[in-house]
Amino acid sequence: MNVLVFDIETVPDIAGGKIIHDLQGLDDESTAKALFHLRKQKTGSDFLPLHLQKIVAISVVYRGMGDDMGHEVLVRSLGDENSSEADLLSLFFKEIEQRTPTIVSWNGTGFDLPVIHYRTLKNKVSAPGYWEKGDNNSAFRYDNYLSRYHERHTDLMDVLASYNHNAAASLQDIAMLLGFPGKMGMDGSVVWDEYQKGNLSGIRNYCETDVLNTYLVYLRYQLMRGELDNDELDAEYTLLKEKLDNSGKEHLLEFSKSWKNI
């Protein structure tokens, strides 16, 4: 495998919201409340538009990237708690540029990647390998990161629902259905509150458990489509379990303990 599974966590783009809605003079908390209110008036939901979602964490699972990664799996959040949004995006695209992996998401087509696109545009980050569609590399003509029905980006939610939004399920439901831990510690609805408290470490840990659920679903997907057999799947589970159990990180140890594997 040559796989990069990813997930992002976001908070309101306070600076951008002030510019777009002329909210100068308000503090961050008041600006956020105003943005939520304006959005709810317009759409009935306070979920902000994707271009006003600022990325504060990108977590990944790496598997089999390069000759030195054939028997390794890595789970981590990119950068550190002091990394800027531009830093996180640069690190994300650096992995794609260097490894050319299959990238895997849950609802990446509907949320993560459009947010990444808008924030990359805002932060002046260059990512030519990601945007390649075959003009400079013919291998990308019929399999690139941008086309919905190509596998170089595999959006598990989209694929499993046969690209039918009405059939889409949540990662939480599918993870729990398969015996995986599901969300741990928090969920997306409290990320802004935790960010205001300065709990970026907790947000990054939560993002890592989310991306682990996605990776485990991906492994079952690979079994379903015949890319792994049952023995190979068990070997992948064992490899990941060992990584989590030897991590020394409380949230990863807790994830391993909660993993039932139905």
> Phi/psi of residue 235, each to 5°?
-65, -40
Tokens of 120: 């990359």
pTM over 0.85: yes
Encoding tokens for residue 201?
């470490």
d(CA 120, CA 131): 12
> Which domains occur in the chain, in start order?
3-258 (3.30.420.10)
Which residues is 76 bridged to in the sheet? 60
Residue in 185, 216, 215 with CA at minimum distance from that of residue 203: 185
- How high is the mean pLDDT in each 10-residue block of the chain (262 residues)? 95 96 92 95 95 98 70 92 98 94 97 98 96 92 93 97 96 96 85 95 96 98 97 94 95 94 65
pLDDT the model gives residue 188: 79
- Interatomic CA distance for residues 84 and 213, integer angstroms: 26
| Phi, psi for 48 (deg, rounded to 5) | -70, 155
